Amino acid sequence: MLVHESEFVQSNAVVVQGRAGVLLIDPGITGDEMACLANDLSDSGQTVVAGFSTHPDWDHLLWHAHLGAAPRYGTARCAATVRDQLSDPGAKADIAAHLQETEIAGQVPLDLLGLITALPAETTQIPWEGGPHVRIIEHQAHAPGHAALFIEERGVLVAGDMLSDVLVPMLDLDGTADPIEDYLAALRLFEEVAGGVDVLVPGHGSVGGADQVRARIERDRAYVLALRDGRDPSDPRIGPSAKPGWEWVSDVHNGQAQRLARRSERDGTPG
Ligand SMILES: [Zn+2]
């Protein structure tokens, strides 16, 4: 397994080697990075036989022509959400406008964005030949149809946008009726496999070892519970202890806290 880390929000692309080719999870961000990855793979005689997007956010939906034409899978809910997003003719222009304000303006090819093949609902494994079994752990947290992938025989958990050492849990406040409970349920799913994880790869942030798995689950749970209860989470990822360059995560936190407070005022329920 290889991890390719982007400069942009420390995004991790993951390559899982099989006998007949590789599975590429969340391919990367800039055109140069993805082309570089495609070259590295072809130099070592490997082709991409399947792709996977962990969830329907633009930074996990990209692709580069040099990576080839393998099917790019996502959960049924992920694929349906992307289809819905892209049915708006202005969708890509909106992403491009957002990127215009970042250091990677003009460097992200959007032409192949979001061409996701839906896996049937309840699919529990990536359909690919000759590779290790890759279990799909789908849950409703962060984004509709978000899925982590667990490669049990190699002890690898690819967590998508969860269990990050730099980003706090970002809840899907529009997508579900009970985003707090859904997030906690997702963390419980991770807990069930935690004992078999030697390497944890978050969508953004540092790769963690076995010792990091339960620590990150606990930290995310503590954060979500604080958010639910309207307490200060005293989380090392926000406030003065945030990593340099990640100060904006505090704004994400404040935004979520405010929205949840308004929500509970409105319907009298926590979260
Ligand atoms: Zn992301």
Mean pLDDT of 68-86: 97
Mean pLDDT of 173-198: 94
**Does pLDDT of 194 surpass 80?**
yes
Cα(78) to centroid(ligand 1), Å: 14
**Does pLDDT of 101 surpass 60?**
yes
Cα(150) to centroid(ligand 1), Å: 18
The pLDDT value given to residue 270: 55
Cα(203) to centroid(ligand 1), Å: 6
Cα(126) to centroid(ligand 1), Å: 21
The secondary structure of residue 231, as a DSSP letter, is -
Cα(128) to centroid(ligand 1), Å: 24
Cα(169) to centroid(ligand 1), Å: 11
The pLDDT tens digits for 82-98 are 999 999 999 999 999 99
Cα(4) to centroid(ligand 1), Å: 14
Query: Which of 70, 4, 71 lies closest to 37, judged by CA?
Result: 4
Cα(49) to centroid(ligand 1), Å: 23
Cα(174) to centroid(ligand 1), Å: 17
The secondary structure of residue 173, as a DSSP letter, is T
Measured distance CA(183)–CA(172) in Å, rounded? 9
Q: Report the percentage of the chain scoring pLDDT > 70.
A: 99
Is 187 in contact with 217 (CB distance < 8 Å)?
yes
Measured distance CA(188)–CA(150) in Å, rounded? 14
More confident residue, 266 or 99: 99
Cα(143) to centroid(ligand 1), Å: 10
Quote the pTM value. Answer: 0.95
The pLDDT value given to residue 5: 87
**What residues have a C-beta under 5 A from ligand 1, the ion?**
59, 161, 203
Dihedral over alpha carbons 259, 260, 263, 268 (to 10 degrees) = -160
Alpha-carbon distances, residue 81 vs 93, 144, 146, 268 (angstroms) = 18, 7, 11, 29
Cα(268) to centroid(ligand 1), Å: 31
**Does pLDDT of 268 surpass 90?**
no
Alpha-carbon distances, residue 6 vs 34, 122, 256 (angstroms) = 10, 31, 26
pLDDT interval class at 269 (50, 70, 90): low
Cα(69) to centroid(ligand 1), Å: 23
**What one-letter code names the amino acid at 117?**
T
Cα(58) to centroid(ligand 1), Å: 8
Cα(211) to centroid(ligand 1), Å: 23
The pLDDT value given to residue 158: 98
Lowest mean pLDDT among 53-62, 179-188, 243-252: 243-252
φ, ψ (nearest 5 deg) of residue 200: -115, 125
